[in-house]
Amino acid sequence: MLYIKCPYCGLRAQKEFSYGGDATVKRPNINEEVSSDDWDNFVYMRKSPRGKHIELWQHIAGCRQWIKVQRDTATHEIFQTAKVTEEIR
Amino acid sequence: MQKYSVFSLIKNAFSNHQNWEVAWKDPTPKSEYDVVIIGGGGHGLATAYYLAKEHNIRNVAIIEKGWIGGGNVGRNTTIIRSNFMYDANARFNEFGMDLWRNLSQELNFNVMFSPRGIINLAHSDAQMNAYARRGNSMRLNGIDAKLLDRDGVKKLIPMADFSDEVRFPIFGGLMQPSAGTARHDAVAWGYARQADDMGVDIIQHCEVIGFDVVNGKIKGIRTSRGDIKAKKVGLCVAGSTNILAEKLNMTLPIETHVLQACVSEPVKPLLDGVVTFGAGHFYISQSDKGEMVMGGDLDGYNSYAQRGNLPTIQHVLTGGLALFPFLSRLKMLRTWGGIMDMSMDGSPIIDKTHIEGLYLNCGWCYGGFKSTPVSGWTFAHTIAQDQVHELNSELRLNRFSTGHLLDEKGLGTKTWIG
């Protein structure tokens, strides 16, 4: 079981969370010309690195906030968590 | 090559089975090959075999970081089926079924292909309608499909929960009688032995570190055992696809996830074919040894760990218990995980790439094992002819940008949304 430190609620079990994928993917800006490649990159293309990965989780059975988590995809170790408005470096 | 038969078995019994030939050699990598296949799993070995057999390309090497058959071909739940609705998937996998039917004879290696049928259970009228539609599509593509009502299912799996109190009563199911299972290790070993016999170098414990790409053309690969020149390179690395893509500066519509499976202690024969639960993600079959082989959901987050966590196993088995209450009294022997190359639409990719001479075979999601022969067959054709075969003409990489998705079940990486 993973234990994820929600920035709002503290350390909670993974079962309370729902996964939201790569947090570094940027949606193309609204009201601007968007090329088909840009849409492609946003919707489908993922780096899926082995190692440190910044990802979104939602504390669905808790405060229901979306949060950012920096986790190792090979060891499952969690390094940092942050509010979705904050940066992880 | 020494042919395996009852006579060779008897003959070798006299020498206490000490004098069998090695099934495949352990060669030192040459400096150059016509084709290098990266990944010595089922798909890579099958690709090399069909390159040699169908296209007479024998100066081929398989580069494997670990040992052959140590990845997903040794970790799957051995299900073979072609119960697909979309034409592209149905044609592709039914061609594969024909290869499976003859595989033991062709490879002179008993892969124990056992077509005992698969039943997808339905738990609502809507699901029955959807299965009737899928069954009709399958039959139009020449695949056997049988729509079972509740009594029909009860006759085949009387041990399922048919009581009145269940949350998801069984309405019926869709059966593909020609589907089944095979012994997964034997598939890898059978392909390896024949490929080796035709001159393919199987190079194990050799990691790919980088690629030599000059002016958009592949020239070779760099490995932990030296540089190897190659006219063509094929990637067959399933869960490691993204790692190699990064070395090629490619981004793919693939996310890597861990998928777990488990087996119970062995019990007497009680389940003939494969059964899938329609109200949760759970499937089950019984191995020839008697173990109940079970699997279900991804753990649900990007992972390269070939192991998962307990909550997913608990979740999957909760579904299993809802269907088969007898499972509650079985002990689990072991659980394990494999890393899946989850494509964004749930269908595989077998294609050329923008780099000349570099070919891609990935995106197998939950179902790579069943496609092992046809994947190798079509990938070998794609590499040898430098063009896709009709069978994989819709399994292209560019289908995501053109919108020609093969979203067979609406399953991609985000299975938790479905």
> Domain-by-domain residue ranges, chain A?
3-26+36-83
Per-residue pLDDT, averaged over B111-122, amounts to: 97
pLDDT, tens digit (0-9, with 9 covering 90-100), for B79-98: 999 999 999 999 999 999 99
Where do we find the tokens 């990938």? B379
The band of A30, judged by pLDDT with boundaries at 50, 70 and 90, is: confident
User: Are A19 and B416 inside 8 Å of each other by CB?
Assistant: yes
CA angle A44, A1, A14 (to 5 degrees): 60
Compare all CA atoms of chain A with the CA of B308 and give the residue at the minimum distance: A1
Q: Does the beta-carbon distance from B309 to A15 stay under 8 Å?
A: no
DSSP-derived secondary structure letter, B85: S
Residue found by looking up tokens 């072609």 in the block: B82
Chain B contact for A68 (CB, 8 A cutoff): no
Structural domain boundaries in chain B = 24-82+84-109+183-253+345-402, 118-180+255-343
Could you say which of B310, B401, B416 has the minimum Cβ distance to residue A18? B416
pLDDT over 60 (residue B56) = yes
Q: What is the DSSP secondary structure assignment for residue B89, as one 8-state letter?
A: H
- Residue A89 has what pLDDT? 76
**Paired tokens of B202:** 């199987």
User: Residue B199: pLDDT band by 50, 70, 90 thresholds?
Assistant: very high
pLDDT the model gives residue B410: 60
Architecture of domain B118-180+255-343: 2-Layer Sandwich (3.30)
Q: Which residues of A touch B303 (CB under 8 A)?
A: 73-74, 76
Q: Within 10 Å of residue B36's Cβ, how many Cβ atoms?
A: 28
B344 touches chain A (CB under 8 A): yes
Which of B 240-259 lie inside 8 A of A, CB atoms? 242-243, 246, 251-256
Please indicate whether, in this complex, the C-beta atoms of A76 and B303 are within 8 angstroms of each other.
Answer: yes
Q: Residue B275: is its pLDDT beyond 50?
A: yes
Residues shown for chain B? 418
Q: Which two tokens stand for residue B215?
A: 């002016």
| Confidence category of residue B417, pLDDT binned at 50, 70, 90 | very low
* Tokens encoding A52: 């440190």
| CB of B305 less than 8 A from some CB of A | yes
Does position B415 have pLDDT exceeding 60, yes or no?
no
B 17-76 residues with CB < 8 A to A: none
Render pLDDT for B293-310 as a digit per residue (tens, 0 to 9): 999 989 999 999 988 899
Alpha-carbon distances of B92 from B39, B65, B97, B376, B395, rounded to whole Å? 22, 29, 9, 12, 10
Mean of per-residue pLDDT scores for chain B: 95
Taking an 8 Å cut-off on Cβ atoms, the answer to whether B309 and A53 are in contact is no
- CB B371 within 8 Å of CB B364: yes
Residues B320-332 have pLDDT tens digits of 999 999 999 999 9
Q: Which residues of A touch B406 (CB under 8 A)?
A: none
**CA A30 from centroid of its chain's CA atoms:** 21
B24-82+84-109+183-253+345-402 CATH pick, 1.20.1050.10, 3.40.50.1370, 3.50.50.60, 3.40.50.970: 3.50.50.60
| pLDDT the model gives residue B37 | 98
Determine whether the interchain pair A73/B400 forms a contact, defined as Cβ–Cβ distance below 8 Å: no
Closest Cα in chain B to A48: B255
List of chain B residues whose C-beta atoms are within 8 Å of the C-beta of residue A48:
242, 254-256, 302
Predicted TM-score (pTM) of this structure? 0.95
- Residue A85, pLDDT > 90, answer yes
Contacts with B254 from chain A: Cβ below 8 Å: 46, 48
Asked if the Cβ–Cβ distance from B300 to A19 is below 8 Å, we say yes
- The structure tokens listed for B389 are 């075969």
- Contact between B302 and A73 using a beta-carbon 8 Å cutoff: yes
- Name the 3-class secondary structure at B217: strand
Percent over 90 (pLDDT), chain B: 94
Distance CA(B136)–CA(B267), nearest Å, equals 36
∠B385-B388-B392 over CA atoms, to 5°? Answer: 140
Contact list, B242 vs chain A (CB under 8 Å): 46-50
- Stretch 38-57 of chain A: residues touching chain B, C-beta under 8 Å: 40-41, 43-50, 53, 55
Does A15 contact B at CB distance below 8 Å?
yes
**Residue listed under structure tokens 């109940």:** B292
Q: Residue B1: how many CB atoms within 10 A of its CB?
A: 12
For residue A83, list its beta bridge partners.
A67
Q: How far apart are CA B113 and CA B312, in angstroms?
A: 29
Q: Residue B392 in contact with residue B92, Cβ under 8 Å?
A: yes
What is the band of B414 on the pLDDT scale with cuts at 50, 70, 90? Answer: low
Q: Do B256 and A37 touch (CB under 8 A)?
A: no
Provide, as residue numbers in chain A, all residues whose Cβ is less than 8 Å from the Cβ of B297: none
pLDDT, mean of residues B344-373: 96
Average pLDDT over residues B165-176: 95
> Which residues, other chains included, contact B402 with Cβ-Cβ below 8 Å and sequence gap of 6+?
none
> Using a CB-CB distance cutoff of 8 angstroms, which residues of chain B are in contact with residue A73?
256, 302-305
Phi, psi at residue B207, to the nearest 5°? -95, 140
Judged by DSSP in three states, B243 sits in: helix
CATH code: domain A3-26+36-83 is: 3.30.2270.10
User: Phi/psi zone of residue B117: left (φ > 0), alpha (ψ -120 to 50 degrees), beta?
Assistant: left
Q: In this structure, are strands B60-63 and B32-38 parallel, antiparallel, or unpaired?
A: parallel
Residue B46 has pLDDT above 80, yes or no: yes
Nearest Cα of chain B lies from the Cα of A59 at a distance, in angstroms, of 14
Q: What is the DSSP string of A21-88?
A: EETT--PPPTTS---HHHHHHHHT-B---SSEEEEEEE-TTTT--EEEEEEETTT--EEEEEETTS--
